[in-house]
Amino acid sequence: MLPESVARTGDAACEQAEAVRRCRFCRAPLTESFADLGMTPPANAYLRFEELSRMEPFYPLHAYVCAGCLLVQLDAFQTPDEIFGDYAYFSSYSETWLDHAARFAAQAIERFALGPDSRIVEIASNDGYLLQYFQRRGVPVLGVEPAANVAAVAAAKGIPTLVRFFGVETARALAARGQQADLLIANNVLAHVPDLNDFVAGLAVALKPSGVLSLEFPHLLQLIRNVQFDTIYHEHFSYLSLQAVERVLAAHGLVVADAEALPTHGGSLRVIARHRAASGPIGQRVAGLRAREREAGLADLATYRGFAERVKAVKRELLAFLIEAKTVGKSIVGYGAAAKGNTLLNYCGVGGDFLDYVVDASPHKQGRFLPGTHIPIHHPDCVRATRPDYLLILPWNLEREIVARMAHIRDWGGRFVLPIPTVRVEP
């Protein structure tokens, strides 16, 4: 008989072996690393001054790729309640994003013949940034938003908003009330759900038999091609390709009818899907995007295995630029207290020794501090007052908007810096 201590050790080893990390979609074991960004705090956990001296939670930020279904994903370390209980992101503070929403609303109304007898439901409707444009055209809308503080802003605009997380249970409640959607929208939320199967099963329930589902999500193809590792953070549980999304939708009776590449968020996809029983011809753009993904190697594990070294090269290049600039006495501030910026700064080890402060247009972030680095967040007017030599644009996907808004830095010779996919200094 084994000694008790040895037996206990053996039991623990067996338990650990049984606790295999598994794919959130197909449940295959996850053993293939995609990018290990070390230990970082939650990207949207902005701090108040009185919280700076308290212990701050850090979690592994390690993305894996499933060898079975090729879904890139993170482990879940926080519950949805912890992430979205007091959410700091309000969509309406980006003019670029509002313009995108207005264009989509106009196109959807015409394309799907939506009117007063239609119903539009948006999952993760945030502060009403999108539904307001449908409502102005007389189309009935309903938002489903888990963050109560954000939903309150939408409600104040007169946009009916249900404050709860979405999944099969919520979808069944909507169906029981006769609130299934003619157009069901889930923009930039599919990546945010830890229980992917429950969420997509809920989409199928919430969609009318003849309804249309519209999804938008950052495209994994662009993440890999342009080394957009800073879009990896804890509330983004999945990183999506068309091939992966088609598999997930098909498992729940939904078929992709059309797909379109978009410039938003550094490169996104808009996918139009229907119930399998109601699906008609598949648009030619779907086949074209499938081919682009195959040509880029997204069906080959070697493509995913090679990503980590490219991430390290970006880190070294950014640090080299910052070190050289500070060595010769240049001042640097950041623009945009964005979640992607927090991933970049924490992974690269960039704190107040490099950036004097960060500015952001959102009053919900001003006066707080970035998670991990504790860099203070100020109003954009501070840039004019301190006249920095460089303005590091952290939400690089909004480059055009930010450069136009902050063009006055050129008055004193200030220059813009873009960190991704390589360091680029613009006059």
| pLDDT at residue 97 in the model | 85
Contact 392, 335 (CB under 8 A): yes
Length of the chain: 427
Q: What Cα–Cα distance (Å) separates residue 387 from each residue in 247, 409, 414?
A: 51, 7, 7
Mean pLDDT per 10-residue section of the chain, whose length is 427 residues: 39 47 97 97 94 95 97 86 65 83 96 97 94 96 92 93 96 97 96 96 98 97 97 94 98 97 93 91 93 97 97 98 98 96 98 98 94 98 98 95 97 98 95
Strand 72-73 vs strand 268-275: parallel, antiparallel, or unpaired? unpaired
The reply to whether 323-426 shares the fold of 91-305 is: yes
State the CB neighbour count (10 A cutoff) for residue 169. Answer: 12
Looking at residue 12, what is its pLDDT?
A: 42
For the chain, domain boundaries: 91-305, 323-426
Q: Interior CA angle at 121 toward 119 and 126, to 5°?
A: 145
Question: CA–CA separation, 222 vs 265, rounded Å?
Answer: 10
Q: Do 56 and 39 meet the contact criterion of CB atoms below 8 Å apart?
A: no
Q: To which H or E segment does residue 381 belong?
A: helix 381-386
Place of tokens 């489903």: 144
- For domain 91-305, the question of CATH label 3.40.50.150 is answered with yes
262 close to 268: Cβ distance less than 8 angstroms: yes
Q: What pLDDT is attached to residue 11? A: 44
φ, ψ at 4 (rounded to 5°): -60, -40
d(CA 286, CA 383): 45
Supply the DSSP string of 162-212, one letter for each residue.
E-S--SHHHHHHHHHTT--EEEEEEET-GGG-S-HHHHHHHHHHHEEEEEE
Strand partners, 239: 72
Check residue 95 and give its pLDDT: 86
Contact 375, 358 (CB under 8 A): yes
State residue 130's pLDDT score. 95
**DSSP 3-state of 17:** helix
Which residue carries 């700064």 as its tokens? 345
pTM above threshold 0.85: yes
323-426: CATH architecture? 3-Layer(aba) Sandwich (3.40)
Contact (Cβ atoms closer than 8 angstroms) between residue 55 and residue 371: no
Torsion of CA 314, 316, 322, 328, to 10 degrees: -140
CA 220 to CA 10: how far, in whole Å?
A: 41
Please give the Cα distance from 406 to 391 (Å, whole number): 9
Under 8 Å CB-to-CB from 77, ≥6 apart: which residues? 59, 60, 234
**What's the pLDDT at 257?**
96
Nearest to 60 by CA among 33, 29, 85, 27: 33
- The two three-digit tokens of residue 295, written as one number: 């040509």
3-state helix, strand, coil in the chain (%, to 5): 40, 20, 35
Quote the CA–CA distance of 253 and 274 in Å, as a whole number: 9
DSSP 259-318: EEEE-GGGSEEEEEEEEGGG--PPPHHHHHHHHHHHHTTTT-HHHHHTHHHHHHHHHHHH
Task: For residue 42, say if its preceding peptide bond is cis, omega within 30 degrees of 0.
Answer: no
Taking the C-alpha atoms of residue 98 and residue 131, their distance in angstroms, rounded to an integer, is: 11
Judge whether 389 and 333 are in contact, CB under 8 Å: no
Q: Tell me the H-state helices in 22-94.
A: 80-84
